[in-house]
Structure 1
Amino acid sequence: MPNLGALITNVELCSKADGRSTVTFPTLKKLSSSAAWLDLSPPCLPDVDAVWSIVSQYVRQKLLKAEPQAVRIPGLGTFHIKRWLSFENGEVHTFQKPVFALSRTAAEIRELQHAASCSSFPDKMKKVSVNYAKIQSKVLNAKDVVEETLKFFYFILRNREDTDFTLKGVGTLAIRGAEVTMAFCEDFLQSLNKSTYVVEKLLIRKWVTLDKEIPLLPSRFGRVHQFPQFEIRKVPRKVSVTNDEIIQDFERALSSMGVRGNVSD
């Protein structure tokens, strides 16, 4: 989590300069201090990545149940499994496709496509939210860490920048402009379907996307904000960038440095 303290300070200063709202990250500030990296017995105050690893593990466990559950990460979105039977090559195969619904809160920040409501889930599927009480039996301030990470995530979305949000062992949520892609780990797909044939069919028919394809998704900025690591990573740059987009990108860069001004053709 390099320079988390500096990133937080920069975002807080930008929000103050904006004059509309002030964004603060009290828990993340604690984690950016050296004391947060001490190896303490649980329950302890871990780094951000460790908290999200536990959240990801919770999601994965619920999705891999014999009767998968729809799992909601408040503020980020909901996962569920779509299951169907298919008769192929003289055999009946069970296909299980993971589906992600971006939360309305995140989607409305910049008119992203968000998934349907819970009414689109199978009627018999149990719906659960991430159990922070159980997580906090292992780590302290887990809910605060998640909420502040998402607050930072929303700030990046409001700036209309691109992001990758990785849930370890599940997949990566990629946002490029107005396009939302949820890509999944091959290991997760294999554990879910327990059939190499089924996984290959899911991929060949492009019913799912592998997370290893995400680094190849271009951005008009040539970079993405990587969550929950709070890193900026280079990606291929989109070639079809208009003058207006370049100007907007430049103005955002000035704003991030606390510089205000107008850019014209």
Structure 2
Amino acid sequence: MAEELVPLLEPPLIEVFLDLWNMLPDNMHSLSPPNNPLAMCLPDQKSVWDAVSVYIQEHLLLHQGVRIPALGSFDVVPKWVKVGNETIIFLKPVFYMARNLIVSHNLMDNKEYLPGHKELEPLKFGEVAAAASVSWKKVEGCIQGTMSLISRCVGKGENIALVLMDVGVLLIEGTKVQMKFYYEFLEVLSGKENLQKVPQLMDVVVSRLEPVASLTFSGRVIIFPKFEMESVPKPPPRRGHLKAHDGDKQKKEGALPALRQGKKEIHQSLDHEDHEMEENMSVL
């Protein structure tokens, strides 16, 4: 039986806050919003993003798209696929990354997440504010602050994951983007029978029980909106696979020494890029 991956939430939450604080330029270390993204988010960032997640889920289940400022757009598109002699028509949720994030960090590896031409209704701050029991100004500031921190983490080479309650997980690793959806959500949207038959749907499924860090190659990720650092031990390569691989290489070019994979660390400094961030955030 395969050993279960247990996520390690290290360093402690207060240290993650300090890491994020150190990622801010000196002129953003004021505790008062709107200068400081952390101050714009705390202490309501979890309740605000949970309300945003409910808003996204409700609209997608009504087959309506929605645009989240500085993050991107969620929509539902009809698809069809031939399985054997049967033609299956199903609904698939899609995500398109905001143009400012793509341009700022060259997130071009996954073409399906590039912005489309369809105009979608923007998120209504008032409805989210009512659901989260905060002001609409708090909702706006929290979304902007969270996205500012996400952009800064991505800019410093950190893996990030935005967990959207009951919807799924947005993962950015290097220049790669993935949007995975929870099985239960896809089951309601696309139909349980279709979910079991259509490979395109199973490819975007993520389990609630699976540690988010296990979705990354490095086994390490900063999780938003909780501001947690999660890591899991990466399993070593299988010995049989290594032997076969080494045998092939020896036949072709002789044995080569194994490369050691460097360990990724959280950076403690950031270039003064606040002016560039303000310009990018104003694109939407």
**TM-score, structure 2 normalization:** 0.67
- Which residue type is aligned with residue 49 of structure 1? K
**1:87–1:178 CA distance, 2 compared to 1 (3 A):** closer
Equivalent-residue separation in structure 2 for 1:91 and 1:49 (angstroms): 44
Equivalent-residue separation in structure 2 for 1:242 and 1:128 (angstroms): 49
Partner residue of 1:41?
none
Tell whether 2:143 aligns with 1:134.
Answer: no
**1:176–1:86 CA distance, 2 compared to 1 (3 A):** closer
Structure 1 position 200, deviation (Å): 1.4
Tell whether 2:39 aligns with 1:29.
Answer: yes
Query: Which sits farther off after the overlay, 210-219 or 99-108?
Result: 210-219
Equivalent-residue separation in structure 1 for 2:225 and 2:195 (angstroms): 27
CA offsets 1:157-215 (integer angstroms, 9 cap, x no match): 1111101111111110111222111100111101102x32201123x346642122654
**Does the residue aligned with 1:127 lie in a helix, a strand or coil?**
coil
**1:133–1:188 CA distance, 2 compared to 1 (3 A):** same
Contact 2:23–2:268 (Cα < 8 Å) also in 1: no
Query: Which sits farther off after the overlay, 85-94 or 110-119?
Result: 85-94
- Identical columns (%): 24
- 1:235 equivalent among 208, 225, 232: 232
Tell whether 2:107 aligns with 1:97.
Answer: no
Equivalent-residue separation in structure 1 for 2:102 and 2:66 (angstroms): 18
Equivalent-residue separation in structure 1 for 2:180 and 2:24 (angstroms): 31
Equivalent-residue separation in structure 2 for 1:30 and 1:3 (angstroms): 21
Aligned length: 227
Contact 1:109–1:157 (Cα < 8 Å) also in 2: no
Structure 1 position 219, deviation (Å): 3.2
Structure 2 unaligned spans of 5+: 1-8, 238-257, 271-284
Partner residue of 2:214?
216
Structure 1 position 13, deviation (Å): 4.0
Equivalent-residue separation in structure 1 for 2:101 and 2:84 (angstroms): 42
Contact 2:196–2:202 (Cα < 8 Å) also in 1: no
Tell whether 2:64 aligns with 1:54.
Answer: no
Structure 1 unaligned spans of 5+: 37-46, 257-265
Tell whether 2:193 aligns with 1:197.
Answer: yes
C-alpha RMSD of matched pairs (Å): 3.4
User: Using CA pairs below 8 Å that are at least 6 residues apart, which structure has the higher relative contact order?
Assistant: 2
Structure 1 position 88, deviation (Å): 5.3
